[in-house]
A and B are shown apart, each in its own frame.
Chain A
């Protein structure tokens, strides 16, 4: 039997962060993380725990994302973020929520695999673990990450410049 308590203590925080970044909703992220650890209870032996945990969570997200209600809720949140609210917001928070909206938009531009690989790398998974979790060859992880990083940064910059352009014309 897997020592789920150890697993939980070790990976819960990075997993929730990974999922929150992926989903843009902390409650949803915590739901998925919890379900992941429930599944771990049923595993007798895990060769690479971290890769397993992230792979299961990633698959749950893919399943979950198909569900309409959740998806709608997610989109509502995104649109709320994108609106960046009106002028009664403190300037700092306005900037932060704008940046969050740009980042969210940029992340959505990436392909699913690129996005997941990048988010897993940010949580400290090594190339072997990313390859295992996503079913990639190790040799392709570097290419995947380089493409994901470039696209993310480009899309983020583009979102920002579009916003600035929109303000000037507006």
Chain B
């Protein structure tokens, strides 16, 4: 037998040769010093190449180099798959089908949503924050245990006096037009009307939908239902364009319930984030560092674009998951510790993610 060529050695080490060929190569490699050395070298190359490729895995998302403000606000480049509405419909159906299955398989996933009164969520303007009705937060916490989607005696989802006060006159118009019921402040709070005909194929229409206020519907069920109906590829694309770091107002003293929500979500995330981005801490870029110290009333948060357990997550500077977010027009709506905040997308700041 002639000396082994490098391709054959790699094929042998990769287990791609049939039994007879493998036996022949093995025998030759054992008796030929030159080929034995080549085999040893090939083993080194296989391991080395693998190691080099592994170092590529630590890739952040949503923290691409800062776009100039004009570019940031420009419409994202149009891509071919966006142009075809039927593709969007199919994708929505696919995402929905998988989402429903996932959700049904994992009862705890239902815990990841907090209901927000529609009126509050929809009428919030950029820069405003609203603390949610404590009863709703409490109710969502009580309902953590896995159970079927039977009706519960949830408190009526109405805007709290505090929320109304914060929203003032600007909020009242939208409040009147809101469908009431419950609506997720989560990413899925987008309007159910965006759902396409393709959604019906999946049978999700059977899931509880947002109904008139008197109908007792499990708040998180309705929120999840809405979320699933909302995430079209276009939405997902817009979200990814908007992900990144923002400076947000720090709300008042966090309540015990809000802390619980954050820690519960963090636990939930760590259990089910196998295929998602590693939780990452971030540091302001050098340009941003100067302003980091100023204004004790603000903090840097990172909006992650990866969809994990049906939610896009908000991370604090220390890398802890502190809430969820969604995009709404030109603002990002953040739900952090039971407080809904609205941040203009144009206010994105540069930051670096350190795993």
Contact = CB atoms under 8 A, between A and B. Distances in A.
Contacts of A146: 6-7, 9-10, 42, 45
A119 B11 contact: no
B101 interface: yes
A76 interface: yes
A5 B101 contact: yes
A26 B11 contact: no
B289 A88 contact: yes
B22 interface: no
Nearest to A157: B48
A interface SS class? helix
B59 A93 contact: no
Given A38-B91, A149-B48, A21 B65 contact: no
A153 B305 contact: no
Interface in A112-141: 118-119, 121-122, 126-127, 140-141
A143 B42 CA distance: 12
Interface stretch (B157-165, B179-187, B215-223, B233-241): B233-241
B50 to A, nearest CB: 6
B35 to A, nearest CB: 14
Given A25-B59, A93-B354, A142 B77 contact: no
A127 B16 contact: yes
Contact of B55 (A4, A35, A76, A99): A99
Contact of B62 (A27, A67, A152): A27
Contact of A24 (B6, B14, B49, B59): B59
B250 interface: no
Interface stretch (A43-51, A101-109, A162-170): A101-109
B57 interface: yes
A62 interface: no
A27 B305 contact: yes
Contacts of A73: 64
Contact of A69 (B58, B77, B94, B233): B77
Interface residues of B, number: 52
Interface in B1-23: 5-11, 14, 16
Nearest to B79: A67
A24 B42 contact: no
A4 to B, nearest CB: 6
A67 to B, nearest CB: 7
B164 to A, nearest CB: 38
9 contacts: A21-B56, A27-B62, A27-B240, A70-B77, A96-B355, A100-B58, A106-B52, A142-B16, A152-B52
Interface of A: 4-5, 8-9, 12-13, 16-17, 20-21, 24-27, 30-31, 34-35, 37-38, 41, 67, 69-70, 73, 76-77, 79-80, 85-86, 88-90, 93, 96, 99-100, 102-104, 106-107, 118-119, 121-122, 126-127, 140-150, 152-153, 156
Interface of B: 5-11, 14, 16, 42, 45-46, 48-50, 52-53, 55-62, 64-65, 77, 79, 81, 87, 90-91, 94, 97-98, 101, 233, 236-237, 240, 243, 275, 277, 283, 286, 289, 305-306, 352, 354-355
Given A121-B14, A143-B5, A152-B48, 18 more contacts: A25-B61, A26-B60, A26-B277, A34-B233, A37-B94, A38-B233, A73-B64, A77-B64, A79-B65, A80-B65, A86-B286, A89-B354, A93-B354, A119-B53, A126-B16, A140-B7, A145-B11, A153-B45
